[in-house]
Amino acid sequence: MLTPCVFPMIPITVSYFTGHRAKNRSSAVINAFVYAVGIILTFTALGMALALVFGASGVNRLAADPWVNLLITAIFLGFAFSLFGAFVIQAPSSLVRCLDDITRHTGTSQLLGTLLMGLVFTLTSFTCTAPFVGTLLVIASQGSWKWPVIGMLAFSTTFATPFFLFALVPQLLTQLPKSGSWLNSVKVVMGFMEIAAAMKFLSNADLIWHWGIFTREVVLAVWVATGTLIFLYILGKFQTTHDTVVPSLSATRVFLALVFLAGSVWLGTGLFGRPMGEIEAFLPPSNSGATDAAEKSDAGRRSSELTWIVNDYSSALARAKAENKPLFIDFTGYTCTNCRWMEANIFPRPEVVRELEKFVCVRLYTDGAGEPYQQFQKMQQERFGTVALPYYVVASPDGTTRKTFPGLTRDPDQFVTFLKTAESMN
C-alpha cells in the first residue's frame, strides 16, 4: 500500500536484489514471488502473534521503541556500507553448507535467503505500519481472530505487491548483456539512499528520548549532503572500491546527476522553513527539540495560527468547559509518519485553521516511554476501540464524544466537513 511509510523501504529492496543475480528470468520471477510471500506470511503472523502476546497497545509500543528503531537504523547502515563495497553480507559458510547438504539443491538456500529477506523487511516496515493496522490488532487481542487474519492478509498482500515489482526489476536488469560498471553505480546510489532512509528511524529514537540532536534541520542537512554526494559520484568525481574510472559522461549520467542536484537544492530550501509537502511525513516536527516540560505546558504550541495544548488532557477539558467550546483531540505519535503528513499538509490550511479555532485543541502522544503516553494510549483503546494513528476525536465540553475521524486524508474538504458537522452537534 503506497502510504508514506513504505518509501524508505524501496532502496533496501532494490539494492538486495541488485546484488543477488538470478540465473534466468524464471528464477528472477520465483525469487521475487518468494520475497512477496515472505512479506505476506511473516507480516500477518507477526501481527497476530504480537497482538496475542502483548496486545495491540504493546505492538505499538514495540514499533515505537527507540532500541528497535536504532536496530533498524543499524540494518539500513549495514546494507549501505555493504553496497559501497566495505564488506559482503552473506550467510555463514557453515550454514550454507548445511543447507546444501540437507536440500541437495544449491538454489534452495538462495530461496531460503530470499524468504529470510522478506522477514527482515517485515520487521523493518512493521514499525511504520503497526499503528495503521491498529484496529485489526485490537480486535485480535480481544480474542476475535477470523476477520483480523483476513484483514492482515489483505493488507500485507496489497503492501507486498509493489515490492514484488521492485524485487523483479533489478533481477531482470542484471541479465542484460554487457551490464558493465553501471550496475555497481546503481548499488552505490542505493547505498546513499539507504543512509538517507536510516535518518528517519534515528530521528524516531531521538524524538522518544528527547535528545534534540537529530532535528528536522539536521535530517534535512544530511539529506542535502547525501544528494550532493550522489551528484558528485554520478559525475565521476570520486569512486568506490569496485568502481572503474568513468571515461566520459553520457547524457543519462548528466541528467541523473542534475536530478539529484535539483533535489538537494529543493531540500535545502527546507532548512530555511519552507514546507516540504509529502517529504514532511519523514521529518521530525519543527518543534522536535522541545523539552518534556515544554510539551506538558498548558501554554501549548502554535501550528500556523492555531494554539495546541500538548499532553495535558485534563487542562484541555477544563478549558473547554470554561470557554464552552467543543474539544478537538489529536491522538498522535512521535514516530507516526502519517501524523506528520497531516500536521504539515492539512492542519495549516486556512480553511482548516478557521474551523479548528472554534475548538480547544489538544495533542496527545501515545507512543512515548512511560506516563502519560501509556495512559493516553489506554484511553484511546478503551474509549474508541483502536490504537491506530492518527486518530481525531471531537468531544463536547463535558468530554462526551461527538464524532471521530480515523486516519489520514488527502482531501481537506473531507476534514473540514468533519469539523463543521462535529462543531454543530450538541
CATH number, position 401:
3.40.30.10
Q: Are 186 and 105 part of one and the same domain? A: yes
Task: Return all residues near 350 (Cβ < 8 A) that are at least 6 apart.
Answer: none
Where does the pLDDT of residue 413 fall: very low under 50, low under 70, confident under 90, or very high at 90 and above? very high
Q: Are 42 and 181 part of one and the same domain? A: yes
Choosing from 180, 207, 234, the residue where a domain stops is: 207
Q: pLDDT by residue (tens digit) across 160-181?
A: 777 777 666 655 555 544 445 6
Determine, yes or no, domain membership for 418: yes
Whether 108 shows a pLDDT value over 60: the answer reads no
Extended strands (E) in 214-343: 301-303, 306-310, 327-332
Determine, yes or no, domain membership for 337: yes
Determine, yes or no, domain membership for 31: yes
Single pTM value for the model: 0.69
> Which strands, in side-by-side order, build the sheet including 401-406?
301-303, 306-310, 360-365, 327-332, 391-395, 401-406
> Long-range contacts for 14-17 (Cβ within 8 Å, ≥24 apart)?
14/166, 14/167, 14/169, 14/170, 14/190, 15/79, 15/83, 15/187, 15/190, 15/191, 15/194, 16/79, 16/117, 16/167, 17/166, 17/167, 17/168, 17/170, 17/171
Where does the pLDDT of residue 96 fall: very low under 50, low under 70, confident under 90, or very high at 90 and above? very low
Check residue 332 and give its pLDDT. Answer: 92
Q: Are 112 and 196 part of one and the same domain? A: yes
Which residue(s) pair with 403 in the sheet?
A: 394
Determine, yes or no, domain membership for 342: yes
Torsion over CA: 153, 159, 162, 164 (sign) = negative
Average pLDDT estimate for 66-70: 87
Q: What angle do CA 303, 307, 308 make, to 5 degrees?
A: 90
Q: Are 274 and 232 part of one and the same domain? A: yes
Q: Which amino acid is at 32?
A: A
- Please tell me what DSSP assigns to residue 374: H
Q: Are 262 and 313 part of one and the same domain? A: no
Q: Are 194 and 298 part of one and the same domain? A: no
Q: Which residue has the cell 528472477?
A: 28
Q: Are 318 and 177 part of one and the same domain? A: no
Check residue 183 and give its pLDDT. Answer: 67
Q: Are 232 and 202 part of one and the same domain? A: no
Choosing from 149, 174, 207, the residue where a domain stops is: 207
Where does the pLDDT of residue 298 fall: very low under 50, low under 70, confident under 90, or very high at 90 and above? very low
Cβ atoms of residues 187 and 18 within 8 Å:
yes
Domain count of the fold of the chain: 3
Q: Are 24 and 161 part of one and the same domain? A: yes
Q: Are 64 and 192 part of one and the same domain? A: yes
Q: pLDDT by residue (tens digit) across 257-288?
A: 999 999 999 999 999 888 888 888 888 887 64
Choosing from 283, 305, 333, the residue where a domain stops is: 283
- Neighbour-count burial of 61, counting CB atoms closer than 10 A to its CB (0-12 exposed, 13-18 middle, 19+ buried): buried
The x, y and z cell numbers of residue 305, run together, are: 495560527
Where does the pLDDT of residue 104 fall: very low under 50, low under 70, confident under 90, or very high at 90 and above? very low
Cβ atoms of residues 95 and 110 within 8 Å:
no
Determine, yes or no, domain membership for 2: no
More confident: 393 or 425: 393
For residue 272, what are the domain limits? 216-283
Report the chain's mean pLDDT, rounded to a whole number: 76
Q: Are 24 and 158 part of one and the same domain? A: yes
Determine, yes or no, domain membership for 1: no
Determine, yes or no, domain membership for 303: yes
- Map 34-88 to HEC letters: HHHHHHHHHHHHHHHHHHHHHHHHHHHHHHHCHHHHHHHHHHHHHHHHHHCCCCC
Q: Are 220 and 201 part of one and the same domain? A: no
Determine, yes or no, domain membership for 103: yes
